């Protein structure tokens, strides 16, 4: 193989001298195909590696941590345990002390070790029962060449596989690290790096793999974390700037007469919190600049009433409004609430979902196009190409985390027919979002927060119990059901499976034949068609059915005030935010409500989730705990954002760095809105390559 004249990030690993075909194949299984991939394959941790010295001195430094060591001496004794799980144990003595060497499942080592043999043992050492021990060390027999004293350092431990270990990856990284770093261009100007005390990019990558110490490693980590955070914040700020400069909406002024008419349609008096948020929306809606606002609040905080206010303001000024939800069940619930609110009015309201027949869909789309339909509530069906509006002025997107930027762009393009007029956009989230996550994912939106509960809403009593308590739980519920209350029972799966998890049909049958004998029970899950689901829900809403056995399809979009009881089976299998959402289905009436989570957690995370849900009913606190538990990587994945996940930045650890990145990005975009200056050219190219498609940069208006 001929070594390429220059190795850079794009060089295939097969072209790098010393990287053989088998290594290339094994690295490819880890997704590593180029020299740049290998450099970006960061260590998961770094272990202290002590320079060679006496055993007694090393034993005094190990303490409670595991440290990589290199020790030379003479084998004093050898002991072997035969059998399928053979273990070989040897004692190495260097005159200052002894260390125990242990090989597991390695009977073949017995023939290689004899008392009196001299050599070097290298591996991870720890103190165990008062003795220094190295498990599965690398043993080099004979009299190895004496090495210079050297210095202690940090050894990188890489994500690896059964095919290729961390040590081999470390060696291969060493072949490409320096040449790749030598060709790196730093997208951050030197003046900015000096202002923020950031090391050059190439130095950061070198120090992530081969740090001179903990301080160098942390400075390298901070530089790469800042790159990730700043790049994303530049993206959301650029998008925000583009939206504000390139889009216009029809102004919707609010006066006392219109305000009184809208409030007269509400089934209750708005709370002070709702009034505050309505005022924020009204100010946005009165302008030509298109509103782009995120409304967040705890479960049952009254977000729907605020959204209804905005939509009715549009209708009062002769325009149209749309509310888009991710599921038919949630869309149907919104439609039902608005239908009751608008009873007897001249406002034309329609429901458009995938379950609509052809004739019904055609009638609704025709009404939207000519202006005969004032408000449409629906699912993704509203976003499809065949749906056009005469004058869409307000668009509400509920459960924002289930939609991406593309869906928001699609609804904007259904505005007044002629760009750049677009609808004012309000996106809602069913549960509070941790502030760091809101800044990260929704930084292009203004934020409104609803706190507290509407009058009459009662706190929900929460209990967490093991499965052995289930008979007592159902017996207690039976007593309250017999007194006229209704209950939800949530199970994790639709059909019986080998997992042993309770399913809808079997559990409903168990309840009907046991603790709820003689009680009318309905079932609901995501596989039911609209007609069957509506029939079951209507029976439950009316009180004809006293118990609803369901999957998590009911976590949003179900509002039955008389349903004051809930049991969640296998609660340890659900996410923390999901448990909080489910609990939000009760406590919607004026009576005392109870939610019982039944679970037998087998992992620390599951135990912590149940502890958290049992200890708090504050959605903001639960959101922060959920982020700490799941970590930003999983949260990003669940958001369907399309954004590249962070490799280095940690939202729970780097909150201060995120705030700094946001402030810097805001100032940067204010002076260079499109990153078109020469000093920003590299940054712009990197931004568009990394986040351009996900953020829809340049795709606004």
- Section 14-18 average pLDDT: 91
Query: Where does residue 542 rank: exposed (0-12), middle (13-18), buried (19+ CB within 10 A)?
Result: exposed
Q: What does the pLDDT read at residue 454?
A: 67
- Residue 263 to residue 275: CA distance in whole angstroms: 11
- For the chain, how are helix, strand and coil distributed in percent, rounded to 5? 45, 20, 40
Write down the pLDDT at residue 701. 41
Please report the DSSP string for 598-657 in residue order. Answer: E----SHHHHHHHHHHHH---HHHHHHHHHHHHHHHHHHHHTT--PPPPSS--TTT-HHH
The structure's pTM equals: 0.73
Q: Residue 465 pairs with which residues in a beta bridge?
A: 598
Structure tokens at 76: 């004093």
On the 0-12 / 13-18 / 19+ scale of CB atoms within 10 A, 368 is: buried
Inform me whether the pLDDT recorded for 252 exceeds 60. yes
* Residue 401: predicted pLDDT: 57
Domain boundaries, the chain: 1-44+165-183, 51-151, 256-450, 460-616
Q: Provide the mean pLDDT of the chain.
A: 88
How far apart (Å, rounded) are the C-alpha atoms in residues 498 and 506? 13
Q: What is the pLDDT of residues 356-408, one digit of tens each?
A: 888 999 999 999 999 999 999 999 888 887 889 999 999 999 875 555 556 66
Name beta bridge partners: 522: 548
Q: What number of other Cβ atoms are within 10 A of residue 370's Cβ? A: 11
The answer for residues whose C-beta is within 8 angstroms of residue 68's C-beta and 6 or more apart is: 47, 48, 49, 50, 122, 123, 124, 125, 155
Query: pLDDT of 418-429, one tens digit each?
Result: 445 889 999 988
Return the percentage of the chain with pLDDT > 90, whole number.
57
DSSP H or E stretch at residue 77: strand 67-81
Q: What pLDDT was estimated at residue 194?
A: 96
Q: What CATH homologous superfamily does 51-151 map to?
A: Nucleic acid-binding proteins (2.40.50.140)
CATH of region 460-616, choose from 3.30.230.10, 3.10.20.740, 3.60.20.10, 3.40.50.300: 3.40.50.300
Q: Residue 451 pLDDT > 90, yes or no?
A: no
CA distances from 79 to 55, 109, 121, 388, 597 (A): 20, 11, 17, 81, 52
- The winner for highest mean pLDDT among 42-51, 132-141, 178-187, 299-308 is 178-187
CATH number of 1-44+165-183: 1.10.150
**Mean pLDDT (whole number) for 267-282:** 93
Over residues 517-538, the mean pLDDT reads: 91
Furthest-apart CA atoms within the chain: distance in Å? 100
**Topology alike, domains 256-450 and 460-616:** yes
DSSP state of 692: I
Tokens 């070097």 sit on residue? 120
Q: Report whether pLDDT(642) > 70.
A: no
Q: Give pLDDT, residue 140.
A: 86
Give yes or no for residue 417 having a pLDDT over 60. no
Confidence of residue 639 (pLDDT cuts 50, 70, 90): very low
Q: Is the pLDDT of residue 2 over 80?
A: no
- Domain 256-450: CATH class, spelled out: alpha beta
> Higher model confidence: residue 221 or residue 107?
221
- Bond preceding residue 420 cis, omega within 30 of 0: yes
Residues 385 and 245: their CA atoms lie apart, in Å, by: 26
- Neighbouring CB atoms inside 10 A of 82's CB total 10
Question: 52-56, 116-120, 175-179: which has the minimum mean pLDDT?
Answer: 52-56
- CB-side neighbour CA atoms (13 Å) of 525: 16
pLDDT value of position 618: 87
For 332-353, the pLDDT digits (tens) are 989 999 999 999 999 999 999 9
Closest by CA to 381, choosing from 423, 429, 322, 311, is: 322
| C-beta separation of 89 from 101 below 8 A | yes
């Amino acid at each position: 193989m001929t070594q390429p004249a220059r190795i850079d990030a794009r060089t295939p690993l097969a072209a790098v001298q010393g990287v053989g075909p088998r290594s290339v194949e094994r690295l490819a299984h880890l997704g590593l195909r180029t020299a740049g991939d290998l450099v970006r394959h960061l260590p998961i941790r770094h272990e202290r590696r002590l320079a060679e010295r006496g055993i007694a001195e090393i034993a005094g430094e190990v303490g409670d941590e595991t440290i990589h060591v290199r020790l030379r001496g003479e084998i004093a004794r050898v002991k072997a345990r035969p059998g399928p799980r053979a273990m070989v144990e040897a004692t190495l003595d260097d005159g200052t002390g002894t260390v125990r060497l242990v090989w597991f499942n390695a009977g073949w080592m017995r023939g290689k070790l004899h008392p009196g043999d001299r050599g070097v043992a290298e591996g991870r050492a720890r103190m165990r029962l008062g003795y220094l021990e190295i498990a599965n060390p690398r043993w080099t027999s004979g009299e190895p060449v004496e090495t210079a004293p050297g210095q202690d350092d940090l050894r990188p431990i890489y994500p690896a596989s059964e095919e290729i270990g961390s040590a081999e990856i470390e060696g291969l990284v060493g072949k490409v690290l320096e040449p790749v770093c030598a060709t790196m261009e730093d997208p951050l100007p030197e003046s900015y790096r000096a202002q923020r005390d950031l090391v050059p990019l190439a130095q950061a990558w070198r120090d992530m793999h081969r740090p001179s110490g903990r301080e160098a490693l942390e400075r390298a980590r901070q530089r790469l974390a800042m790159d990730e955070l700043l790049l994303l914040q530049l993206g959301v700020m650029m998008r925000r700037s583009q939206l504000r400069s390139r889009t216009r909406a029809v102004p919707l002024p609010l006066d006392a007469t219109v305000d009184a008419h809208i409030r007269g349609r509400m089934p209750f008096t708005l709370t002070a919190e709702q009034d505050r948020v309505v005022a924020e929306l009204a100010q946005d809606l009165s302008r030509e600049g298109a509103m782009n606002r995120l409304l967040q609040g705890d479960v049952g905080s009254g977000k729907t009433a605020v959204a209804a206010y905005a939509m009715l303001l549009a209708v009062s000024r002769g325009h149209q409004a749309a509310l888009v939800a991710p599921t038919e069940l949630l869309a149907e619930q919104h439609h039902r609430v608005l239908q009751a609110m608008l009873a007897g009015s001249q406002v034309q309201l329609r429901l458009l979902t995938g379950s609509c027949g052809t004739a019904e869909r055609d009638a609704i789309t025709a009404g939207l196009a000519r202006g005969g339909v004032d408000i449409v509530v629906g699912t993704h069906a509203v976003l499809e190409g065949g749906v056009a509006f005469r004058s869409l002025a307000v668009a509400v997107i509920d459960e924002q985390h289930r939609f991406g930027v593309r869906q928001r762009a699609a609804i904007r393009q259904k505005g007044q027919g002629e760009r750049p007029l677009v609808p004012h956009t309000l996106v809602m989230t069913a549960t509070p979002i941790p502030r760091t996550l809101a800044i990260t994912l929704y930084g292009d939106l203004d934020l409104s927060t609803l706190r507290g509960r509407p009058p009459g809403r009662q706190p929900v009593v929460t209990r967490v119990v093991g499965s052995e308590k289930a008979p007592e739980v159902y017996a207690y519920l039976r007593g309250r059901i017999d007194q006229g209350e209704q209950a939800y029972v949530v199970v994790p799966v639709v059909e019986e499976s080998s997992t042993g998890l309770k399913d809808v049909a079997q559990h409903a049958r168990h309840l009907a034949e046991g603790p709820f004998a003689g009680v009318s029970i309905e079932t609901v899950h995501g596989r039911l068609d609209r007609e069957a689901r509506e029939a079951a829900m209507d029976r439950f809403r009316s009180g004809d059915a006293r118990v609803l056995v369901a999957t998590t399809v009911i976590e949003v979009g179900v509002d039955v005030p008389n349903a004051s009881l809930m049991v969640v089976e296998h609660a340890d299998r659900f996410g923390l935010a999901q448990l909080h959402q489910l609990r939000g289905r009760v406590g919607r009436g004026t009576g005392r409500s109870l939610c019982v989570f039944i679970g037998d957690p087998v992992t620390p995370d599951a135990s912590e989730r149940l502890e958290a849900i049992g200890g708090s009913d504050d959605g903001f606190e639960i959101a922060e705990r959920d982020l700490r538990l799941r970590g930003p990587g999983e949260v990003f994945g669940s958001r369907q954002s399309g954004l590249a996940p962070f490799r280095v930045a940690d939202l729970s650890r780097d909150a201060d760095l995120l705030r700094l990145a946001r402030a810097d990005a805001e100032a940067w975009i204010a002076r260079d809105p499109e990153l078109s200056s020469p000093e920003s050219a590299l940054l712009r190219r990197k931004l568009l390559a990394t986040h351009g498609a996900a953020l829809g940069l340049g795709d606004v208006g």
